[in-house]
């Protein structure tokens, strides 16, 4: 464990620890207020029942007045702590204000103990117990930074030295009491720093453990999902290939069935290749931190992609492309962006009927570029919509013509768009279709 006697915690976990311990300080303050208030009530009851104006309390009237003052001030700290706890947030301004409030209470507790020591005897050096208790309570119950600890130590020492001459006049006693106070404050400082270091060390270790646990859980989950997908989705097309190959070996032949079986083999191989490519694409996008982007004119780029779909992959669904007519530029990775558009168009076709249409729109907005892919198909249920970009999404569904989905396509799309410093969202209405909207940073021509 690293002891932070004259330093702060490492910057990597400092902000999280600060947010954590400020809240814990407020909770400790609230509890301390309750205990201290009840203690003062008990003292007041003893005075009342036994009419105690004890011989050991030299400044009894001052002590009694201080007790009444404590009964008034302590509830103010208590209700203030409730206010801070209920409205707690991690904004810097609020955290600083909360910690200042805690430091004021720490000084209040310490000076209360010091005050009792002065009132109980002519010579505080012989009865510094309550003063010491106040210091220990603050050092153990509250987590404060080294400069805050030093500030409390300095202020407390100055208050002690300033108040002492009102109760003692002998130079020797003044010197001895100040030495005793300095000793107590030194012990207080180092206990407080050790307590701080212990809490910081535990917090950072627990934080690191939690992060590793989450990372391990995600890794295990991803591994299991990948194994499950590979085992299930690759097994079917490969089984078909094996079966059809056996039939062809027996048939040896020609004719319509022969060519139909060959086509089935080709389709199964394409499906297996598609699954493998999606898995490889997902892994590659996670490993590569950045894509090499180039400045291109988007309307021309999208027109080429859409024309290819119109020529080769259309079925009976019409695709239209709308744009402003003037050049729109963006930095993109051509191959990856084509993958995005192919995925979105393919997905739209999958859930569109024979005579439906797909509208692709390029908009030049004030601060960004927007690409929209809109279909008028069956739509996405509202309960599935939040999960469509998840890897191996539970929102995956087969297309209306039986097209199988493994739930990776939209996850890949989102990965690619994020690496373009963009964003993708989806809106959908059942039976009225779905719109995918891509936002990309705009660049000047």
Q: How far is CA 294 from the centre of its chain?
A: 33
Within-domain flag for 227: no
Within-domain flag for 231: no
| Residue-range definition of the domain harbouring residue 250 | 237-287
Query: pLDDT value at position 116?
Result: 79
Query: pLDDT value at position 157?
Result: 93
Q: At 101, is the pLDDT very low, low, confident or very high (cuts 50, 70, 90)?
A: very high
What Å distances lie between residue 54 and 51, 199, 312, 429, CA to CA? 9, 42, 103, 82
The average pLDDT across 213-229 equals: 74
Query: pLDDT value at position 80?
Result: 95
Does the reported pTM lie above 0.85? no
Residues 157 and 69 occupy one common structural domain: yes
pLDDT above 70 covers what percent of the chain? 81
Within-domain flag for 3: no
Within-domain flag for 407: yes
Residues 64 and 142 occupy one common structural domain: yes
Is 135:159 a contact under the CB 8 Å cutoff? no
Q: What does residue 426 show for φ and ψ, rounded to 5 degrees?
A: -140, 140
Query: pLDDT value at position 55?
Result: 47
The average pLDDT across 193-205 equals: 90
Domain boundary among 213, 247, 264: 213
Structure tokens at 180: 């005793």
The domain that holds 337 is classified in CATH as: 3.30.565.10
What Å distances lie between residue 135 and 163, 185, 217, 243, 372, CA to CA? 17, 8, 44, 83, 65
Is 127:117 a contact under the CB 8 Å cutoff? yes
Query: pLDDT value at position 123?
Result: 47
Give 433-443 pLDDT, tens digit per residue. Answer: 899 999 999 88
Give 235-257 pLDDT, tens digit per residue. Answer: 677 777 777 777 766 666 666 67
Query: pLDDT value at position 64?
Result: 81
Beta-carbon count within 10 A of 193 CB: 21
Residues 271 and 321 occupy one common structural domain: no
Predicted confidence (pLDDT) at residue 48 exceeds the cutoff of 80: no
The average pLDDT across 249-272 equals: 70
pLDDT above 90 covers what percent of the chain? 34
Greater confidence (437 vs 259) lies with 437
Number of domains in the chain: 3
Residues 39 and 152 occupy one common structural domain: yes
The average pLDDT across 155-169 equals: 87
Give 278-320 pLDDT, tens digit per residue. Answer: 766 666 666 556 778 899 999 999 999 998 888 775 556 888 9
Query: pLDDT value at position 119?
Result: 72
Among 22-26, 44-48, 112-116, 216-220, the range with the most confident prediction by mean pLDDT is 22-26
Predicted confidence (pLDDT) at residue 53 exceeds the cutoff of 60: no
Residues 33 and 115 occupy one common structural domain: yes
Pairing of strands 294-297, 329-332: antiparallel
Residues 138 and 65 occupy one common structural domain: yes
């Amino acid at each position: 464990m690293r002891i932070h006697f004259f330093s702060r915690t490492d910057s990597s976990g400092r902000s999280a620890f600060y947010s954590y311990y400020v809240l814990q300080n407020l909770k400790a303050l609230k509890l301390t207020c309750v205990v201290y208030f009840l203690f003062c009530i008990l003292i007041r009851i003893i005075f009342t029942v036994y009419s105690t104006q004890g011989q050991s309390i030299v400044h009894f009237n001052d002590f009694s007045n201080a007790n009444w003052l404590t009964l008034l001030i302590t509830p103010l700290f208590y209700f203030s702590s409730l206010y801070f706890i209920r409205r707690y947030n991690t904004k810097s301004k609020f955290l600083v204000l909360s910690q200042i409030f805690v430091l004021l209470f720490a000084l209040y507790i310490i000076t209360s103990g010091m005050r009792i020591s002065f009132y109980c005897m002519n010579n505080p050096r012989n009865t510094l117990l309550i003063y010491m208790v106040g210091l220990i309570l603050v050092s153990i119950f509250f987590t404060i930074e080294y400069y805050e600890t030093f500030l409390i130590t300095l202020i407390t020492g100055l208050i002690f030295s300033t108040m002492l001459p009102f109760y003692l006049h002998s130079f020797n006693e003044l010197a001895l009491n100040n030495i005793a106070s300095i000793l107590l404050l030194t012990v207080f400082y180092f206990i407080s720093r050790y307590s701080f270091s212990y809490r910081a060390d535990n917090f950072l270790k627990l934080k690191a453990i939690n992060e590793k646990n989450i990372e391990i859980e995600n890794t295990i989950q991803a591994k299991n999902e990948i194994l499950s997908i590979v085992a299930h989705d690759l097994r079917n097309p490969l089984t078909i290939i094996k079966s059809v190959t056996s039939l062809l070996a027996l048939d040896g032949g020609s004719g319509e069935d022969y060519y139909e079986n060959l086509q089935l083999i080709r389709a199964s191989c394409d499906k297996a290749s598609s699954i493998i490519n999606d898995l490889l694409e997902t892994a590659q996008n996670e490993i590569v931190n950045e894509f090499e982007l180039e400045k291109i004119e988007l309307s021309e780029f999208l027109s080429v992609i859409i024309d290819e779909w119109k020529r080769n992959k259309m079925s009976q669904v019409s695709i239209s492309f709308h744009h402003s007519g003037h050049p729109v530029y963006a930095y993109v990775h051509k191959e990856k962006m084509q993958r995005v558009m192919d995925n979105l168009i393919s997905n739209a076709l999958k859930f569109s009927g024979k005579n439906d249409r797909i509208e692709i729109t390029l908009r030049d907005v004030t601060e960004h570029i927007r690409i929209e892919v809109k279909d008028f198909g069956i739509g996405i249920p509202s309960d599935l919509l939040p999960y469509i970009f998840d890897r191996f999404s539970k929102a995956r569904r087969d297309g209306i013509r039986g097209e199988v989905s493994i739930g990776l396509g939209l996850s890949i799309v989102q990965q690619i768009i994020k690496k373009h410093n963009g964003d993708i969202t989806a809106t959908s209405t059942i039976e009225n279709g779905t719109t995918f909207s891509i936002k990309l940073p705009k660049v000047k021509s």
